[in-house]
Structure 1
């Protein structure tokens, strides 16, 4: 992912005491939100909150499938989606 910019990955980078505030602060600094989507995403209140907040802030969201068969293609799928955003 780093070839596309400086990613923020909550499970890796969030060592703050107030984790939700830390996520919100990083979201406010974001140009784009990339959702690596799995079956559990729709069950996560935190992910749903982040998606809603991104929409309210006008931050584009790119959804990439994380199905096992798709994982090797994530960089290619991301390039395609980023190109679509750039051409809009």
Structure 2
């Protein structure tokens, strides 16, 4: 492999985001530090968000197998059910 190419690639910093489904079957992105995450309409949207947020760093996004259930945590799930929250694009 060309040395110039190797020098220009940013070093992998490990997995930052995990993409998978929660117990309800919804697609989610979960930040390993618990700072960023969300629910998505489909897998493609979830992966797109995770890749964008990680600046497309190699190895920063991990898609977990279907046998693994992800969670955004109790703080997010309690806020998620709040009746005063609005959905983007809806009046």
Higher strand share: 2
- Taking structure 2 as the reference length, the TM-score comes to 0.22
Q: TM-score, normalised by structure 1?
A: 0.23
The structure whose residues are more often helix, as a share, is: 1
Task: Compare CA radii of gyration and give the structure with the larger one.
Answer: 2
